[in-house]
Amino acid sequence: MLNKQITIMKIVAIYMGAVIGAGFASGQEIMQFIIVHGHDGIKEVLLITLLFSYLGAVILYLSVKFKTDNYLILINYLVGKKIARLLDIISLLMLAGGLSVMLSGSGAVFSEHFNMAAWFGILVIVIINCLVLLKGIQGVVWINAFLVPIKITAILIISLLLIKTQNAPAEINITIGPAENIYRHWIISGLLYVSYNMILVIAVLSTIGKDINIRKAIVGGALGGLGLGITAGVMFLAGLTVYPEITEYKIPMLYMAGLLGAAIKSVMGFLIWVAILTTTVANAHGFAARLAKTNSNTYKKIGIGITLLAIPLARFDFDKLVGYIYPIFGYVGLLLIIILILGPPLKFIKLIILKRRNGGEGIY
Protein backbone atom coordinates (compact mmCIF):
# COMPACT_ATOMS: atom_id res chain seq x y z
CA MET A 1 0.00 0.00 0.00
CA LEU A 2 2.69 2.50 1.01
CA ASN A 3 4.77 1.55 -2.07
CA LYS A 4 2.10 3.08 -4.31
CA GLN A 5 1.80 6.15 -2.12
CA ILE A 6 5.50 7.08 -2.13
CA THR A 7 5.97 8.53 -5.61
CA ILE A 8 9.24 9.76 -7.10
CA MET A 9 8.35 13.35 -6.24
CA LYS A 10 7.62 12.37 -2.64
CA ILE A 11 11.06 10.72 -2.47
CA VAL A 12 12.59 13.94 -3.81
CA ALA A 13 10.67 15.91 -1.18
CA ILE A 14 11.80 13.61 1.64
CA TYR A 15 15.43 13.85 0.48
CA MET A 16 15.44 17.62 0.06
CA GLY A 17 13.43 18.12 3.23
CA ALA A 18 16.07 16.29 5.24
CA VAL A 19 18.85 18.58 3.96
CA ILE A 20 17.07 21.94 3.67
CA GLY A 21 16.63 22.69 7.32
CA ALA A 22 17.64 25.49 9.65
CA GLY A 23 21.20 25.84 8.37
CA PHE A 24 20.38 25.64 4.66
CA ALA A 25 17.16 27.66 4.45
CA SER A 26 18.44 30.35 6.82
CA GLY A 27 21.49 30.87 4.62
CA GLN A 28 23.99 30.06 7.38
CA GLU A 29 25.26 26.86 5.72
CA ILE A 30 25.54 28.44 2.28
CA MET A 31 27.37 31.41 3.76
CA GLN A 32 29.80 29.47 5.97
CA PHE A 33 30.54 26.66 3.52
CA ILE A 34 30.20 28.20 0.03
CA ILE A 35 29.86 31.99 -0.20
CA VAL A 36 33.09 32.58 1.77
CA HIS A 37 35.02 30.97 -1.12
CA GLY A 38 34.01 33.68 -3.55
CA HIS A 39 34.20 32.65 -7.21
CA ASP A 40 35.43 29.19 -6.18
CA GLY A 41 31.96 28.67 -4.75
CA ILE A 42 30.70 28.02 -8.29
CA LYS A 43 32.96 24.97 -8.55
CA GLU A 44 31.92 23.93 -5.05
CA VAL A 45 28.24 24.05 -6.00
CA LEU A 46 28.92 21.76 -8.98
CA LEU A 47 30.80 19.37 -6.69
CA ILE A 48 28.06 19.13 -4.09
CA THR A 49 25.39 18.73 -6.80
CA LEU A 50 27.23 15.75 -8.25
CA LEU A 51 27.80 14.21 -4.83
CA PHE A 52 24.23 14.72 -3.62
CA SER A 53 22.81 13.16 -6.80
CA TYR A 54 25.14 10.16 -6.82
CA LEU A 55 24.94 9.47 -3.10
CA GLY A 56 21.17 9.87 -2.97
CA ALA A 57 20.73 7.34 -5.79
CA VAL A 58 23.21 4.90 -4.19
CA ILE A 59 21.63 5.08 -0.74
CA LEU A 60 18.14 4.53 -2.08
CA TYR A 61 19.25 1.77 -4.45
CA LEU A 62 20.89 -0.17 -1.63
CA SER A 63 17.93 0.49 0.63
CA VAL A 64 15.62 -1.13 -1.90
CA LYS A 65 18.00 -4.07 -2.51
CA PHE A 66 18.08 -4.86 1.20
CA LYS A 67 14.49 -3.80 1.94
CA THR A 68 15.69 -1.62 4.81
CA ASP A 69 13.74 0.29 7.42
CA ASN A 70 16.85 1.82 9.06
CA TYR A 71 20.45 2.56 8.14
CA LEU A 72 22.25 -0.15 10.14
CA ILE A 73 21.82 -2.84 7.47
CA LEU A 74 23.45 -0.57 4.88
CA ILE A 75 26.54 0.30 6.88
CA ASN A 76 26.92 -3.33 8.01
CA TYR A 77 27.01 -4.31 4.35
CA LEU A 78 29.43 -1.59 3.33
CA VAL A 79 32.00 -1.74 6.14
CA GLY A 80 31.34 -4.85 8.22
CA LYS A 81 29.84 -5.14 11.69
CA LYS A 82 32.83 -3.90 13.70
CA ILE A 83 33.23 -0.54 11.97
CA ALA A 84 29.45 -0.33 11.60
CA ARG A 85 29.04 -0.32 15.38
CA LEU A 86 31.25 2.77 15.64
CA LEU A 87 29.47 4.52 12.77
CA ASP A 88 26.14 3.63 14.35
CA ILE A 89 27.04 5.38 17.60
CA ILE A 90 28.42 8.39 15.72
CA SER A 91 25.30 8.59 13.56
CA LEU A 92 22.98 8.53 16.57
CA LEU A 93 25.00 11.30 18.23
CA MET A 94 24.91 13.38 15.05
CA LEU A 95 21.16 12.94 14.66
CA ALA A 96 20.63 14.04 18.25
CA GLY A 97 23.03 16.97 17.80
CA GLY A 98 21.38 17.99 14.53
CA LEU A 99 18.01 17.92 16.27
CA SER A 100 19.31 20.44 18.82
CA VAL A 101 20.50 22.71 15.99
CA MET A 102 17.03 22.61 14.42
CA LEU A 103 15.36 23.53 17.71
CA SER A 104 17.86 26.36 18.16
CA GLY A 105 17.07 27.57 14.63
CA SER A 106 13.38 27.72 15.50
CA GLY A 107 14.22 29.82 18.54
CA ALA A 108 16.36 32.15 16.40
CA VAL A 109 13.55 32.72 13.89
CA PHE A 110 11.04 33.49 16.63
CA SER A 111 13.53 35.84 18.29
CA GLU A 112 14.85 37.73 15.23
CA HIS A 113 11.76 37.71 13.05
CA PHE A 114 8.66 37.37 15.20
CA ASN A 115 10.10 39.37 18.13
CA MET A 116 9.11 36.60 20.51
CA ALA A 117 11.09 34.71 23.12
CA ALA A 118 13.43 32.07 21.67
CA TRP A 119 12.22 29.48 24.16
CA PHE A 120 8.69 29.83 22.75
CA GLY A 121 9.94 29.04 19.24
CA ILE A 122 11.66 25.94 20.62
CA LEU A 123 8.50 24.88 22.45
CA VAL A 124 6.27 25.25 19.38
CA ILE A 125 8.48 23.13 17.13
CA VAL A 126 8.91 20.49 19.83
CA ILE A 127 5.14 20.09 20.14
CA ILE A 128 4.54 19.87 16.36
CA ASN A 129 7.43 17.43 15.91
CA CYS A 130 6.01 15.14 18.58
CA LEU A 131 2.57 15.21 16.97
CA VAL A 132 4.05 14.24 13.57
CA LEU A 133 6.02 11.37 15.12
CA LEU A 134 2.83 10.01 16.64
CA LYS A 135 1.64 9.41 13.05
CA GLY A 136 4.74 7.32 12.23
CA ILE A 137 6.20 7.10 8.71
CA GLN A 138 2.95 8.35 7.18
CA GLY A 139 3.32 11.60 9.10
CA VAL A 140 6.92 12.02 7.92
CA VAL A 141 6.00 11.43 4.26
CA TRP A 142 2.99 13.74 4.41
CA ILE A 143 4.69 16.70 6.04
CA ASN A 144 7.56 16.60 3.51
CA ALA A 145 5.29 16.16 0.48
CA PHE A 146 3.20 19.14 1.58
CA LEU A 147 5.78 21.61 2.92
CA VAL A 148 9.02 20.99 0.97
CA PRO A 149 7.78 22.21 -2.47
CA ILE A 150 6.45 25.39 -0.84
CA LYS A 151 9.66 26.29 0.95
CA ILE A 152 11.94 25.50 -2.00
CA THR A 153 9.82 27.57 -4.38
CA ALA A 154 9.92 30.53 -1.99
CA ILE A 155 13.70 30.27 -1.47
CA LEU A 156 14.30 30.21 -5.23
CA ILE A 157 11.95 33.12 -5.97
CA ILE A 158 13.42 35.35 -3.27
CA SER A 159 17.00 34.51 -4.28
CA LEU A 160 16.32 35.22 -7.96
CA LEU A 161 14.60 38.50 -7.12
CA LEU A 162 17.58 39.55 -5.02
CA ILE A 163 20.02 38.69 -7.82
CA LYS A 164 17.95 40.81 -10.21
CA THR A 165 17.52 43.81 -7.91
CA GLN A 166 21.08 43.90 -6.58
CA ASN A 167 22.50 43.82 -10.14
CA ALA A 168 25.33 41.98 -11.85
CA PRO A 169 26.09 38.99 -9.60
CA ALA A 170 28.25 37.64 -12.42
CA GLU A 171 30.66 40.53 -11.91
CA ILE A 172 30.86 39.76 -8.20
CA ASN A 173 31.47 36.08 -8.94
CA ILE A 174 34.58 37.03 -10.87
CA THR A 175 36.02 39.66 -8.58
CA ILE A 176 35.21 38.50 -5.08
CA GLY A 177 37.91 36.50 -3.35
CA PRO A 178 37.77 34.15 -0.38
CA ALA A 179 37.11 35.73 3.00
CA GLU A 180 40.28 36.62 4.88
CA ASN A 181 39.52 34.23 7.74
CA ILE A 182 38.69 31.25 5.52
CA TYR A 183 40.62 28.18 6.60
CA ARG A 184 39.26 25.43 4.34
CA HIS A 185 39.87 24.82 0.64
CA TRP A 186 36.65 24.85 -1.36
CA ILE A 187 36.97 21.13 -2.14
CA ILE A 188 37.35 20.25 1.53
CA SER A 189 34.48 22.59 2.40
CA GLY A 190 32.26 20.93 -0.21
CA LEU A 191 33.10 17.45 1.02
CA LEU A 192 32.42 18.48 4.62
CA TYR A 193 29.12 20.04 3.63
CA VAL A 194 27.89 16.90 1.90
CA SER A 195 29.38 14.48 4.44
CA TYR A 196 27.65 15.84 7.53
CA ASN A 197 24.37 15.98 5.62
CA MET A 198 24.76 12.34 4.58
CA ILE A 199 24.34 11.13 8.16
CA LEU A 200 20.81 12.50 8.21
CA VAL A 201 20.12 11.58 4.60
CA ILE A 202 21.06 7.92 5.03
CA ALA A 203 19.14 7.77 8.31
CA VAL A 204 15.98 9.07 6.63
CA LEU A 205 16.14 7.53 3.13
CA SER A 206 16.98 4.06 4.45
CA THR A 207 13.64 3.98 6.28
CA ILE A 208 11.68 3.77 3.00
CA GLY A 209 13.66 0.96 1.35
CA LYS A 210 10.81 -1.50 1.87
CA ASP A 211 8.26 0.84 0.34
CA ILE A 212 9.70 1.79 -3.08
CA ASN A 213 11.16 0.08 -6.16
CA ILE A 214 14.54 0.37 -7.89
CA ARG A 215 13.38 2.85 -10.54
CA LYS A 216 11.88 5.19 -7.98
CA ALA A 217 15.00 4.88 -5.84
CA ILE A 218 17.53 5.84 -8.52
CA VAL A 219 15.46 8.57 -10.19
CA GLY A 220 14.27 10.03 -6.87
CA GLY A 221 17.79 10.10 -5.43
CA ALA A 222 19.32 11.71 -8.53
CA LEU A 223 16.58 14.33 -8.86
CA GLY A 224 16.72 15.13 -5.16
CA GLY A 225 20.46 15.77 -5.39
CA LEU A 226 20.01 17.91 -8.49
CA GLY A 227 17.32 19.94 -6.75
CA LEU A 228 19.60 20.51 -3.75
CA GLY A 229 22.44 21.65 -5.99
CA ILE A 230 20.26 24.07 -7.95
CA THR A 231 18.79 25.56 -4.77
CA ALA A 232 22.26 25.95 -3.20
CA GLY A 233 23.59 27.53 -6.40
CA VAL A 234 20.86 30.15 -6.63
CA MET A 235 21.23 31.01 -2.92
CA PHE A 236 24.99 31.28 -3.41
CA LEU A 237 24.61 33.80 -6.24
CA ALA A 238 22.09 35.79 -4.24
CA GLY A 239 24.32 35.77 -1.15
CA LEU A 240 27.30 37.09 -3.07
CA THR A 241 25.36 40.24 -3.93
CA VAL A 242 25.15 41.21 -0.24
CA TYR A 243 28.39 39.75 1.11
CA PRO A 244 29.89 40.52 3.64
CA GLU A 245 26.86 42.30 5.17
CA ILE A 246 25.05 38.99 5.70
CA THR A 247 27.78 37.74 8.05
CA GLU A 248 26.32 39.98 10.75
CA TYR A 249 23.02 38.05 10.85
CA LYS A 250 22.10 34.69 12.38
CA ILE A 251 19.45 34.26 9.68
CA PRO A 252 21.04 35.69 6.48
CA MET A 253 18.02 34.81 4.30
CA LEU A 254 15.80 37.03 6.44
CA TYR A 255 18.15 39.95 5.85
CA MET A 256 18.20 39.19 2.12
CA ALA A 257 14.40 38.96 2.00
CA GLY A 258 14.13 42.22 3.93
CA LEU A 259 15.94 44.02 1.11
CA LEU A 260 12.99 43.14 -1.11
CA GLY A 261 10.34 44.46 1.28
CA ALA A 262 8.76 43.87 4.67
CA ALA A 263 6.02 41.60 3.28
CA ILE A 264 8.52 39.29 1.58
CA LYS A 265 10.60 39.21 4.74
CA SER A 266 7.55 38.12 6.74
CA VAL A 267 6.78 35.31 4.30
CA MET A 268 10.40 34.19 4.27
CA GLY A 269 10.56 34.12 8.04
CA PHE A 270 7.67 31.70 8.18
CA LEU A 271 9.07 29.51 5.38
CA ILE A 272 12.49 29.30 7.01
CA TRP A 273 10.72 28.04 10.08
CA VAL A 274 8.90 25.48 7.90
CA ALA A 275 12.28 24.31 6.61
CA ILE A 276 13.48 23.93 10.18
CA LEU A 277 10.38 21.90 11.00
CA THR A 278 10.88 19.33 8.21
CA THR A 279 14.48 18.68 9.20
CA THR A 280 13.54 18.50 12.87
CA VAL A 281 11.13 15.73 11.94
CA ALA A 282 13.81 14.05 9.80
CA ASN A 283 16.36 13.98 12.64
CA ALA A 284 13.93 12.64 15.22
CA HIS A 285 12.49 10.10 12.77
CA GLY A 286 15.92 8.83 11.72
CA PHE A 287 16.98 8.43 15.35
CA ALA A 288 13.79 6.64 16.41
CA ALA A 289 13.63 4.43 13.30
CA ARG A 290 17.14 3.12 14.02
CA LEU A 291 16.11 1.92 17.47
CA ALA A 292 12.56 0.73 16.85
CA LYS A 293 10.15 -0.29 14.11
CA THR A 294 8.43 2.70 12.54
CA ASN A 295 4.82 3.13 13.64
CA SER A 296 5.45 1.12 16.80
CA ASN A 297 4.78 2.60 20.24
CA THR A 298 8.49 2.27 21.04
CA TYR A 299 9.36 4.33 17.95
CA LYS A 300 7.00 7.07 19.07
CA LYS A 301 8.35 7.09 22.63
CA ILE A 302 11.98 7.24 21.46
CA GLY A 303 11.26 10.01 18.94
CA ILE A 304 9.47 12.14 21.51
CA GLY A 305 12.10 11.36 24.15
CA ILE A 306 15.10 12.42 22.04
CA THR A 307 13.25 15.60 21.04
CA LEU A 308 12.84 16.55 24.69
CA LEU A 309 16.45 15.67 25.49
CA ALA A 310 17.65 17.97 22.67
CA ILE A 311 16.11 21.06 24.27
CA PRO A 312 18.99 22.05 26.66
CA LEU A 313 21.61 22.28 23.87
CA ALA A 314 19.13 24.19 21.72
CA ARG A 315 19.37 27.17 24.08
CA PHE A 316 22.83 28.00 22.66
CA ASP A 317 23.07 30.52 19.79
CA PHE A 318 22.05 29.05 16.46
CA ASP A 319 24.91 30.49 14.40
CA LYS A 320 27.49 29.16 16.88
CA LEU A 321 25.97 25.68 16.76
CA VAL A 322 26.11 25.69 12.94
CA GLY A 323 29.67 27.03 12.93
CA TYR A 324 31.07 24.55 15.45
CA ILE A 325 28.92 21.40 15.44
CA TYR A 326 28.41 21.00 11.68
CA PRO A 327 32.11 21.06 10.69
CA ILE A 328 32.88 18.52 13.44
CA PHE A 329 30.11 16.29 12.15
CA GLY A 330 31.46 16.82 8.64
CA TYR A 331 34.93 15.55 9.50
CA VAL A 332 33.46 12.54 11.26
CA GLY A 333 31.09 11.89 8.37
CA LEU A 334 33.92 11.92 5.81
CA LEU A 335 34.45 8.21 6.51
CA LEU A 336 30.86 7.50 5.63
CA ILE A 337 30.92 9.54 2.42
CA ILE A 338 34.14 7.82 1.27
CA ILE A 339 32.50 4.45 1.91
CA LEU A 340 29.40 5.46 -0.02
CA ILE A 341 31.42 6.76 -2.97
CA LEU A 342 33.86 3.86 -3.20
CA GLY A 343 31.90 1.01 -1.63
CA PRO A 344 29.38 0.18 -4.39
CA PRO A 345 31.95 0.26 -7.26
CA LEU A 346 34.34 -1.93 -5.25
CA LYS A 347 31.52 -4.36 -4.49
CA PHE A 348 30.67 -4.47 -8.21
CA ILE A 349 34.29 -5.17 -9.15
CA LYS A 350 34.39 -7.95 -6.57
CA LEU A 351 31.22 -9.40 -8.09
CA ILE A 352 32.77 -9.47 -11.57
CA ILE A 353 35.90 -11.20 -10.21
CA LEU A 354 33.83 -13.82 -8.38
CA LYS A 355 31.75 -14.54 -11.46
CA ARG A 356 34.83 -14.99 -13.62
CA ARG A 357 36.38 -17.37 -11.10
CA ASN A 358 33.49 -19.68 -10.39
CA GLY A 359 30.41 -18.44 -12.22
CA GLY A 360 28.61 -18.10 -8.90
CA GLU A 361 26.03 -15.55 -7.88
CA GLY A 362 27.35 -12.15 -6.77
CA ILE A 363 26.61 -10.09 -3.78
CA TYR A 364 24.27 -7.82 -5.71
pLDDT tens by residue, 285-337: 989 999 998 888 999 999 999 999 999 888 776 666 666 666 666 666 777 77
CB-side neighbour CA atoms (13 Å) of 329: 25
Please name which of 276, 136, 133 lies closest in space to residue 208, comparing C-alpha atoms. Answer: 136
**Residue 331 falls inside a structural domain:** yes
**Residue 364 falls inside a structural domain:** no
Whether residue 300 contacts residue 133, with contact meaning beta carbons closer than 8 Å, is answered with yes
d(CA 311, CA 67): 33
**Residue 353 falls inside a structural domain:** yes
Whether residue 254 contacts residue 271, with contact meaning beta carbons closer than 8 Å, is answered with no
d(CA 289, CA 297): 11
68: left (phi over 0), alpha (psi -120 to 50) or beta: beta
- CATH number assigned to the domain comprising residue 235: 1.10.4160.10
d(CA 352, CA 83): 25
d(CA 192, CA 332): 9
Crossing angle for the helix pair 81-112 and 318-358, to the nearest 10 degrees = 150
Is the Cα torsion angle 39, 44, 50, 53 positive or negative in sign? negative
| Number of independent structural domains in the chain | 1
d(CA 297, CA 288): 11
Whether residue 246 contacts residue 255, with contact meaning beta carbons closer than 8 Å, is answered with yes
Whether residue 254 contacts residue 269, with contact meaning beta carbons closer than 8 Å, is answered with yes
d(CA 118, CA 111): 5
Q: Each residue of 190-215: pLDDT tens digit?
A: 888 888 788 788 888 988 888 889 99
Q: Mention every residue, 6+ apart, whose C-beta is less than 8 A from residue 167.
A: 241
**Residue 363 falls inside a structural domain:** no
Q: What is the residue type of 92? A: L
Give the structural domain span for 194.
2-358
**Residue 86 falls inside a structural domain:** yes
pLDDT tens, the chain, 364 aa long: 455 568 899 999 989 988 887 668 778 888 888 988 888 899 999 999 999 999 999 999 999 989 988 888 888 887 778 888 888 888 888 888 888 888 888 888 888 777 888 889 999 999 999 999 998 888 888 888 888 888 888 888 888 988 888 754 444 444 455 555 555 788 988 888 888 788 788 888 988 888 889 999 999 999 999 999 999 999 999 888 887 777 777 778 878 888 888 888 888 888 888 888 888 998 899 899 999 988 889 999 999 999 999 998 887 766 666 666 666 666 667 777 787 777 777 767 777 777 777 655 544 4
